[in-house]
A and B are shown apart, each in its own frame.
Chain A
Amino acid sequence: MISSALKHLPVLQVVVPLLVAALCVLAGSRFLARTALILTALVMLSISLMLAGQVYPDGVISYALGGWPPPWGIEYRIDMLTVFVLITINLVNLAAAVFALGRNDDNLGRGAHAAFYAAWLLCMAGLNGMVVTNDAFNVFVFLEISSLATYVLIGCGRDPRALLASYRYLVMGAVGATFILLSIGLLYMHTGTLNLTDLAQRIDARGANRTVIMALAFLIIGLGIKCAMMPLHDWLPNAYSFAPNSVTVLLSGTATKVALYVLLRFVHDLFGVDHALSVPVDIVLVACAISGMLVAPLIALRESNLKRMFAWSSVAQISYIILAIGLGTGAGVAAALVHLFNHSIIKVAVFMAVGILIARTGTARIRHLGSVAHTHRFACYTLLFGGLGLIGLPGTPGFVSKWVLVSAVVERGWWWLAIPVLAGSLASAAYVWRIVEILWAKPADIPLQQTRSPLAFVEWFPLVVVMGLVLWFGLHASLVTGWAGLAAAALTGNGS
């Protein structure tokens, strides 16, 4: 029984949260839904880890849904890259789910709580589905599941501006998804297939023409919107800042990361690293990345809202990943993955700390937060360490990311790209230190003693665990980089 279940792990990764979400709505009980959320998150993480255990020795797992062999049926395909991203997002999900049990700043009506947790699970099911699938159209379907769920999760924020943010994200997201759909259509037009492996082979065999180039362009725009690539990032800052705190934690570590993963998959798998396309994809990605890593921190520096500031920081950090993807080399892919993981755990810790602070002080206005560090030590020190990680100081995972990234950049022969990367770090240092200065050294603005309240278990526990990971992976990065290297090999081995 167990051994037969092990064969089905790829699909269980997605179907378990889907069905549990339906059960949550069916049961309609807040208590049951919360319990189910935590248990499912645990199960999902365990499944990812077990998949890793299967893929590591055996290589690629292919799972033909419906029993129809690919490319006719839909194929789930698990390799080292897939499990890397799966573990990352499911880890984040578990931490965020526990955190969500705490004091929530959402605006839910009577009876909507179970549905809220169901939407959470649907979001995760969609994201997991996007990761494991090897079918272009299936990516679109699961993208939409996760997107719809995300819109509503954001819209649950207490501030009415959450609705505007969600609406804007919905419009941009729908445009992005339609671009992706169009791109899939064009690819299908050119090749007659939807399976990614098959697509890659057929593009290789038939060569590229204008249809394929257009497909690539629309794909980059569409995924660029979903992963908040610099000129298409408009939705992200408000969405992150007005969403409920736990949702911000979840999104920062999962949604954009999965979009980046899909970008990586498509750009490298389909179009091949060195494919003779007549369009300079690398230049476009690198240009967007540079603008992101330089402009976003400067906006963050002027930001008045704590959450939005870190949201801008996400835009900046995502740019590093895009830069690494744009390099188009194996080392670049590895660097992208390393930063994908490292940024996820750092940002999750940061947003949890921010959430705790906001829940206590009742404000996200930076200028109201003077001297808060003296009464809310735990949250502020986490924020400080997370901030150092965002800057990329040695001893934090951020440094590892930057080291690997800059090494990849140098290896590619574009050593001058190291300069914007480091300048971006410096700009991050500016906004992080601005916060530190206010949290520690600015005179208090609000009656701080009144805002003290003990931390609940579900608040400090996930934060401590994630911080532990941050500290650990700052000092022992070999696991992450080694794995990312294997994943990159799996990817670049496929395309050509």
Chain B
Amino acid sequence: MITTINALVDMGLLVVLSVSALMLVRCNSPLNTIILNALYSFTICSLFVIMDAVDVAFTEAAVGAGISTVLFLCVIHPDDESGRLFVWPGPLATVVALATGLLLVFGTFDMPLYGDPQVPVHTHLVTRFLEDSGTEIGIPNVVTSVLASYRGYDTLGEVVVVFTAGTSVLILLAAGHARQDSGDGLISNSILRVVMPRIIPLVILFALYVQFHGDYGPGGGFQAGVILGAGLITLALLTDSRIMQGVISERWIIRGMAGGVLVYGLVGVASMLGGGKYLDYSVLAQSSTDGQHLGILLIEIGVGITVAFTMLSLFVSFNRSGQTGD
């Protein structure tokens, strides 16, 4: 039985989470929905931290609370404010949802209890990751080891998902619309305009830290990419977006998106050429752990590039559509 303070915090956060979920369901205004959604994301982030999933928490904070919120904000429209969002769910939806829920509750009684270390989840695959990754891969963050090496192929898939999303948004929002240059920056608050540009180098520095420190602590290419992307987006928001276009054209943003995927994919090709299986980093250098280090470094860079440029691309696409939509 779990009686630690950890469990109490856990339960408390769960209650907060439930409340915010209910508020979200009942919420009637689009803007509030989005803000509440961000709140909900942060709560669940804290829960992830409590449950030792620091990398996940980091990602959820960057994505669930960060990127998603930005995307939602790009899409809502002043006209939507008038409509009532919440309606009491119809009988069909209620029955379907409740039936699913009851089925799940029924199933929970065979599930392992929270924190029980003696269940198959903790005794089968994971023992190798925890016990041997130190010698096989040689980096402390087991999540990074598993993510980038043991299940590196899934991560390639993940990058491709990001790339696919970027490409998809590009296709959807490029359709038939000539590019319109916005005049001034979007945020006219003068304090922000003064302060933010000075912070942005720090943001970029932080991103680089997260990128390369992922082996040792929470973080990695994905989170770094999001931060870098966010920094550049902020820059664009604050200043004349043409400045950003001067720095980097849309063409190159798109190429960057593809470039990261290629970096990742070609690391795999390189390991095939080196005589190993696809994404077997051990063959990339003299010693197997050096190879793993090198491989993980390279693919994390690939991830970072794709994610950062995809964030930029998403922003550019949505931003353009926002301007031309009116």
Residues on A lying within 8 angstroms of B by beta carbon are 4, 8, 11, 15, 18-19, 21-26, 28, 63-68, 71-74, 107-112, 115-116, 118-119, 122, 125, 129, 135, 137-138, 141-142, 144-145, 148-149, 151-152, 155-156, 186, 188-194, 202, 206, 209-211, 213-214, 217
Task: Collect the chain A residues with CB atoms within 8 Å of residue B119's CB.
Answer: 189, 192
Q: Nearest Cβ in chain A — how far from B76, in angstroms?
A: 16
B212 to chain A, nearest CB (A): 22
The listed residue with most A CB atoms (<10 A of its CB), out of B168, B268, B271, B275, is B168
19 contacting pairs across A/B (C-beta < 8 A):
A11-B268, A15-B269, A22-B259, A23-B262, A25-B254, A66-B281, A71-B125, A73-B153, A109-B171, A110-B178, A119-B168, A155-B172, A189-B111, A189-B112, A192-B123, A192-B124, A210-B106, A210-B110, A217-B103
- Contact for B278 among A8, A118, A148, A217, CB less than 8 A: A8
Cα(A28)–Cα(B249), bound, Å: 14
Nearest B residue (CB) for A195: B125
Q: Are A193 and B125 in contact (CB under 8 A)?
A: yes
In the complex formed, the residue of B with least CB distance to A5 is B272
Residues of A within 8 A of B281 (CB): 66
Contact flag A18-B167 (CB < 8 Å), given A28-B251, A189-B112 = no
Q: Chain B residues near A110: list those with CB within 8 A.
A: 174, 176, 178
Asked if B265 and A18 sit within 8 Å, CB to CB, the answer is yes
Q: Does B163 contact A (CB under 8 A)?
A: yes
Q: Report how far A72 CA is from B152 CA in the complex, Å.
A: 11
Chain B nearest Cβ from A179, distance in angstroms: 9
CB-contacts of B112-166 with A (<8 A): 112, 119-126, 128-129, 149-154, 156-158, 160-161, 163-165
Chain B residue contacts of A18, Cβ below 8 A: 156, 160, 261, 265
Chain B residue contacts of A194, Cβ below 8 A: 125
Are the C-beta atoms of B107 and A213 separated by less than 8 Å? Answer: yes
* Cβ of B276 under 8 Å from chain A: yes
Would B107 and A66 count as touching, CB distance under 8 A? no
Give the nearest-CB partner of A206 in chain B.
B120
Whether, in the assembled complex, B198 has its beta carbon less than 8 Å from a beta carbon of chain A, the answer is no
Q: What is the CB-to-nearest-CB distance from A346 to chain B, in angstroms, rounded to a whole number? A: 30
Docked pose: A107 CA to B110 CA in angstroms: 51
Docked pose: A192 CA to B122 CA in angstroms: 7
For residue B129, which residue of chain A has the nearest CB? Answer: A72
Given A22-B262, A26-B262, A192-B122, are A118 and B277 neighbors across the interface (CB < 8 Å)?
no
Q: Does B88 contact A (CB under 8 A)?
A: no
Of A66, A108, A137, A188, the residue contacting B280 (CB under 8 A) is: A66
Contact check: which of B121, B128, B150, B161 meets A144 at CB < 8 Å?
B161
Q: B255: CB under 8 A from chain A?
A: yes
**Chain B residues closer than 8 Å to A137, beta-carbon distance:** 151, 154
Is residue B45 within 8 Å, beta carbon to beta carbon, of the partner chain?
no
- Contacts A112-B175, A191-B124 known; list 7 others, CB within 8 Å: A19-B265, A107-B176, A119-B164, A119-B171, A148-B168, A149-B164, A189-B120
- Specify which chain A residues have a CB less than 8 angstroms from the CB of B178 in the assembled complex: 110
Chain A residues with CB under 8 Å of B104's CB are 214
In the complex, what's the smallest C-beta–C-beta distance from B132 to chain A, in angstroms? Answer: 9
Which chain A residues border B269 with CB–CB below 8 Å?
15, 19
The residue on B at minimum CB distance from A24 is B258
Chain B residues touching A, range = 35 or more
Q: Please tell me if B84 contacts chain A, counting CB pairs below 8 Å.
A: no
**Contact between A22 and B265 (Cβ–Cβ < 8 Å)?**
yes
Contact B168 A149, beta carbon cutoff 8 Å: yes
Task: Tell me if B282 is interfacial: C-beta within 8 Å of chain A.
Answer: yes
Chain A residues, CB < 8 A from B126: 192
* A112 proximity list for chain B (CB < 8 A): 170-171, 174-175
B102 to chain A, nearest CB (A): 11
Cβ-neighbour of A138 out of B107, B128, B157, B168 (below 8 A):
B157
CB distance from B171 to the nearest CB of A (A): 5
* Residue numbers in B under 8 Å from A144 (CB-CB): 157, 161
Whole-angstrom CA separation of A439 from B295 in the bound complex? 61
Q: Which residues of B contact A129 (CB under 8 A)?
A: 157
- B268 → A minimal CB distance (Å): 7
A466 to B38, CA, bound (A): 51
Q: Which residues of chain B are within 8 angstroms of A23 by Cβ–Cβ distance?
A: 258, 262
Contact residues in A for B110 (Cβ distance below 8 Å): 209-211
Scan B22-43; emit 1 where CB is below 8 A from any A CB, else 0: 0000000000000000000000
Known: A11-B278, A19-B265, A112-B174. A152 touches B154 (CB 8 A): no
Is B167 a contact of A122 with CB atoms below 8 Å?
Answer: yes
The contact of B150 among A66, A156, A206, A214, by CB within 8 Å, is A66
CA distance A25 to B112 in the complex (A): 46
In chain B, what residue has the closest Cβ to A65? B153
- Measured CB to CB, the closest approach of chain A to B155, in angstroms, equals 9
- The 8 Å CB contact of B175, one of A19, A22, A109, A151, is A109
Residue of A nearest to B158 (CB): A141
Whether, in the assembled complex, B207 has its beta carbon less than 8 Å from a beta carbon of chain A, the answer is no
Contacting residues, chain A, for B170 (C-beta < 8 A): 112, 115
Interface pair B258/A22, CB less than 8 Å apart: yes
- Knowing A109-B174, A214-B103 touch, does A145 contact B164 (C-beta < 8 A)? yes
Query: Which residues from B are CB-within-8-Å of A138?
Result: 153-154, 157
A221 to B, closest residue via Cβ:
B100
Nearest-CB residue, chain A, relative to B107: A214
Q: Pick the most buried of A107, A115, A135, A188: most chain B CB atoms within 10 A of its CB.
A: A115
Which B residues are in CB contact (< 8 Å) with A152?
Answer: 167-168, 171-172
The answer for the CA separation of A155 and B268 in the assembled complex, in Å, is: 32
User: Given the complex of chains A and B, what is the CA–CA distance between A23 and B149 in angstroms?
Assistant: 24
Query: Does B257 sit within 8 A of A, measured CB to CB?
Result: yes
Q: Closest A residue to B149 by CB, please name it.
A: A66
Report how far A67 CA is from B149 CA in the complex, Å.
9
Specify which of B125, B177, B254 is in contact with A28 (CB 8 Å cutoff): B254
Give complex CA distance A148, B109 in Å: 35
Q: Which residues of A contact B164 (CB under 8 A)?
A: 119, 122, 145, 148-149
Top 7 nearest A-B pairs (CB, nearest first) are: A192-B124, A67-B280, A192-B120, A141-B157, A152-B168, A214-B107, A109-B175
Interface centre among B153, B261, B266, B282 (most CB of A within 10 A): B153
